[in-house]
Chain A
Amino acid sequence: AQSVSQHNHHVILSEAASLELGCNYSYGGTVNLFWYVQYPGQHLQLLLKYFSGDPLVKGIKGFEAEFIKSKFSFNLRKPSVQWSDTAEYFCAVNGDSGYSTLTFGKGTMLLVSP
């Protein structure tokens, strides 16, 4: 079975601070990895994804994530956060093939103070 662990449930940062949200997954085979974001009052939307190739992937709004296979990690980073990045962030894993369930972590609530 696949599982996802997000290290922090709540993160509070000031604008311009750097961000790194931890995500570790448990699965023995090939995986697809995702970060989704849910802004206040909005539906979940895709931030970025990794399928194969370059382990450093770039997403929308200046976010990036690095897949480190040896550590089973897919941490999300942004060098300088903005107030508008306040949202809940979910890491997700999809094992073996695309035709399987997408398992989400419990989410990290990010609050950016102006």
Chain B
Amino acid sequence: GAGVSQSPSNKVTEKGKDVELRCDPISGHTALYWYRQSLGQGLEFLIYFQGNSAPDKSGLPSDRFSAERTGGSVSTLTIQRTQQEDSAVYLCASRRSGYGGELFFGEGSRLTVL
């Protein structure tokens, strides 16, 4: 597609359940980022994939969070045993290869943990 696509757009789950959030980046973009946006907290970096390099996982808040990127394209962010504090908008962004290019963001997946 023309832009970064994320699904689901909204997800309501019960505490303790696992959730998977999907990101389909712009075709040809080698860099992919996941951020978490909470009210008043701005954008919190979670994980960064660049080509075939090992991902930068330094932003993942706990071992309940993981992400993978298959075939250098689609990425899935998994949150296990969700907690109420995981409620947020999860944003995916992609960037064309090259130095310091613009990030293109998806609409986000709003996660609500009850």
CB atoms of A98 and B101 under 8 A apart: yes
Within 8 A of A (CB), among B87-109: 91, 93, 95, 98-103, 105-108
Give the chain A neighbours of B50 by CB distance below 8 A. 99
B59 within 8 A of A: yes
CB atoms of B100 and A106 under 8 A apart: no
Q: How many residues of B contact A (CB 8 A)?
A: 26
Give the chain A neighbours of B48 by CB distance below 8 A. 100-101
Q: How many residues of A contact B (CB 8 A)?
A: 25
A49 to B102, CA, bound (A): 8
Within 8 A of B (CB), among A7-51: 9, 32, 34, 36, 43-46, 49, 51
CB atoms of A101 and B33 under 8 A apart: yes
Partner of A43, one of B40, B59, B95, B107: B107
In the complex, the chain B residue whose C-beta lies closest to that of A102 is B103
Partner of A105, one of B42, B100, B107: B42
Show the binding face of B for A, using Cβ within 8 Å.
Answer: 31, 33, 35, 40-43, 45, 48, 50, 56, 58-59, 91, 93, 95, 98-103, 105-108
The contact sample of 6 A-B pairs, CB cut-off 8 A, is A32-B100, A36-B105, A46-B103, A92-B43, A99-B99, A100-B48
